Structure 1
Amino acid sequence: MKFTALVRTIPRHPNLREITGLLQSRSFQLDFVPRDAKAKPKRYKYPAFYDPYGPRPPPSDKIIQLAERIAALPSEERIQIGPTLREKLRHPKMQPISVEGMDAGPQSHGSSKVEEKKAEKTAFDVMLEKFDAAAKIKVIKEVRGFTNLGLKEAKDLVEKVPALLKQGVTKEEANNIIEKIKAAGGVAVME
């Protein structure tokens, strides 16, 4: 009831429609031209291949001569071009990508021989398995000794047993850490 009373109290302008025009006016598109309904759609010609960098100039004569000289070299010398250019231009050497654990399809006899000749592990992880409740403070001090952790972080790490103490260390360093933890009253293992 109140709403209808409110609508009736708002004065209406007698020529409001003439002032505002049609509701579908195209005032925001000043150059709008309606499409001819009888006109055929435009056909665009696409290039044979897409080059995101646009047209390139042809190579210079010097580059063409260099390519011809490289193509004329024997295969042994052509193999040496890549490493020599990498060294001259000081490009970093590309590291091989590890495909360990990826499914590469059916295994051949050659791959089983590679597994047998697997290199000895050089990097080890040290895990804290358990510790004596009475020796907790000694273990925390030892953990702080060979890590860069503060007191609170070392305490939190020791309380989350089993926890990874150090990662990617040599065998000698791992054995040294295990002995220190054992002397403090804890049990650590090397993985």
Structure 2
Amino acid sequence: MSSVTTKIPYNSLTRFMTTLKLTQPITLSRSLSTTTETRTQKLERIADELLDLTKLERYDYSILFRHKMGLNRYGPALSGPSSAGAAAAGSGPPEAKAAAEKTVFDVKLEKFDASAKIKIIKEVRTFTDLGLKEAKDMVEKVPVVVKKGATKEEADSIAQKLKELGATVVLE
């Protein structure tokens, strides 16, 4: 079993710790100076705890921290007070935005007239690389996705042809 190792930017961590030790609280009032002192002590305690972690624990912590801050590879996090304000500031519901940005569609055959079954099988064969038996089996398994990953124009064309033959088609 192999172990996971990562390089921790030690220079940035030491720079952070030295700035913590050099920072002096601003003494505008007694309550402000005690608040600043407790913040500094808290940050020093956190830094000490981070230094006590093993490499694997630091790696897990870095992933968790990025996730909590919304810096993961899947885009910004959608939780917390700041994201709620950002979502409220957006125009329209998120579903409408996702539908407007969608470029790849799946053509799903919902149902069809029994009298048009042979025509639909022939049409399915024209836009897929299926043989007669495979196309027949696919059409008989309704509802089924007959074309995956089609562009908007291609999906509309396929849906229109199938609707003309008496089928009910949905673009997903």
Q: Normalised by the size of structure 1, how large is the TM-score?
A: 0.43
Higher helix share: 2
**Considering only CA atoms, is the larger Rg found in Structure 1 or Structure 2?**
1
Q: Normalised by the size of structure 2, how large is the TM-score?
A: 0.47
